[in-house]
Amino acid sequence: MERAATFIDYIEQSIISNWDRNALTDYKGITLQYKDVARKIAKFHIVLESAGIQPGDKIAVCGRNSAHWAVTFLATVTYGAVIVPILHEFKADNIHHIVNHSEAKLLFVGARAWEALDESAMPFLEGIVVLEDFEPVVCRNEQLLEAFENRNARYGARYPKKFRPEDINYREEKSPDELAVINYTSGTTGYSKGVMLPYRSLWSNVDYCREMLRIRPGDHIVSMLPLGHVFGMVYDFLYGFSAGAHLYFLTRMPSPKIIAQSFAEIRPRVISCVPLIVEKIIKKNILPRVDNTIGKLLLRVPIVNDKIKASARKEAMEIFGGQFDEIIIGGAPFNADVERFLKQIGFPYTIAYGMTECGPIICSSRWETLKQASCGKAAARMEVRIDSPDPAHVAGEIICRGTNTMLGYYKNPEATAQIIDVNGWLHTGDLATMDDEGYVTVRGRSKNMLLTASGQNIYPEEIESKLNNMPYVAESLIVLQNDKLVALIYPDFDEAFAKGLQVEDITTAMETNRVELNQQLPSYSQISKVKIHFEEFEKTAKKSIKRFMYQEAKG
């Protein structure tokens, strides 16, 4: 497909040129072809027009990934309204708050999410529509009810010869800075801010994916990251759809078992996922198959045996469907030992670094050129700097500016001024180094950095990365308590109990891990004690642990 001048052009061109191809499939459910999507968009536009919804009005969507979620997004932006995607994992009071704060006029909601909501807590909505069948469940004005009741008749009257490719003529974007999306961050700080993404950000991110990823019309993509989060929204959905791909929506957050089953069947071309999924699959599914006697030790010692390398690569490729060009990993820090293992076996992965405020891409490189532990170089149309006197050796904050960056936070100029300075540089809050070739290596979040009484800067993510590969550790958090570093650990109880361990044995194993870990750490970052957690740590939608919930614990 030729390069489009605007984001809407990408959508329009793709629908017309892929008219008879499959577009959107709910895994084990409905399939819509590109022409079906076009007809649903046309009907959608008739309803919005008849109901008096204006370009610039806000329309919220909240539900699990689905074909109808995707249609709602596409119909909204091609009409000129502003889409407000809301993560269905949010608690009801947060969803109510986002709907009200965004001034949404309509809410399209999945049946399961709707069960937990209270329409009286969203008094400014004109209507609530269930995503599964696009039927209204709340109508607060006659015009809207009448629009829904008469949509089929109006559609038939407007397109008596059926809707055809030549009937597509979506609106022109007023300017690259026109607001397209308000995406409320899941955040690790307990509250949501509305990130205002303009059309230029959507276009630039999609165009970058087009330059970097080898998707052809008809290729398969599995959409497993939540569409309400900008990483999954852009990499899987918006780029995939604009490239003529066939998108499959998994109905829930995928376990290794669901991935093995669905990927073998779908055989996707490009895969986007968070580190947690890859790490689980490598540890639980790949290492035991490759060499059960060595197991996790393979993550920490160099593999010299070419047969083991080839076997590990084959197993890893097959579990993800065997036909993919590369896996893009983003959204959270990647475990250093797992990455080293993947690099050794020649597995095609790349690390993408970004944030919602850049819609999302800041840095990325193709897997063939990616340097281990880095997240690549600055993306096209983005400038990236490290705020440090010696960026190659002393970590400093990542700052960036360019076409991808947001307009600001919706109705929150104070928060906008805190993150975007007078020269337009966006301050990410992440610490990194950058080598002479421009490769950026993230060291941690500046707000996560722990400062000891002796003045040492500790990056907890680097210690956690080592600890998470030790026996019976599922996940961990390093916190500072009374000026001592403490490891909070959620053990892999399933694995421990399967091997006959009792709780006291697990406690002993964690103490052994602490002693072994300290042998790998400098004196200033020694772990003083371990505390066992009996439940998983609470996480954001992109599977980052909500650190703020655990930082204040004293012991």
> In this predicted model, which residue has the larger pLDDT, 235 or 543?
235
Task: Calculate mean pLDDT across residues 71-96.
Answer: 94
Query: Mean pLDDT across the chain, nearest whole number?
Result: 92
CA pair distance 440, 377, nearest whole angstrom:
6
Residue 218: its pLDDT value, please? 98
| Residue whose structure tokens are 């230029």 | 200
Are 487 and 521 in contact by the 8 Å Cβ rule? The answer is no
Domains delineated in the chain:
7-225+234-242 (3.40.50.12780), 251-404+416-445 (3.40.50.12780), 464-549 (3.30.300.30)
pLDDT higher than threshold 70 for residue 554: no
Evaluate if residue 552 carries a pLDDT over 70.
no
CA distance 244 to 416: 36
Q: What CA–CA distance (Å, rounded) separates 53 from 126?
A: 10
Share of the chain above pLDDT 70, in %: 95
What type of residue is 110? G
Which has the minimum average pLDDT: 57-71, 179-193, 505-519?
A: 179-193
- What distances in angstroms separate CA 147 from CA 49, 364, 519, one per listed residue? 8, 45, 69
Of residues 35 and 299, more confidence is placed in 35
pTM: predicted TM-score of the whole model, two decimal places: 0.86
Each residue of 364-395: pLDDT tens digit? 999 999 999 999 999 999 999 999 999 999 99
List the alpha helices (DSSP H) in 282-327: 287-290, 306-319
pLDDT digits (tens, 9 = 90+) for 145-177: 999 999 999 999 999 989 999 999 999 999 999
Residue 551, pLDDT above cutoff 90: no
Is pLDDT of 553 > 70? no
Does 547 score more than 90 pLDDT?
no
Interstrand relation of 194-198 and 179-184 (parallel, antiparallel or unpaired)? antiparallel
Instruction: Of 457, 341, 441, 450, give the one whose Cα is nearest residue 384.
Output: 441
Looking at residue 461, what is its pLDDT? 86
Count the neighbouring beta carbons within 10 Å of the beta carbon of residue 121.
Answer: 14
65 pLDDT tier (thresholds 50, 70, 90) = very high
Residue 539 reports pLDDT greater than 70: yes
* pLDDT tens-place string over residues 256-302: 788 888 999 999 999 998 888 898 898 888 888 776 666 667 777 78
DSSP state of 502: -
SS3 224: coil
Mean pLDDT of 11-22: 98
Over 60: is that where the pLDDT of 189 sits?
A: no
pLDDT at 186 over 70: no
pLDDT of residue 185: 81
Tokens of 55: 């370009």
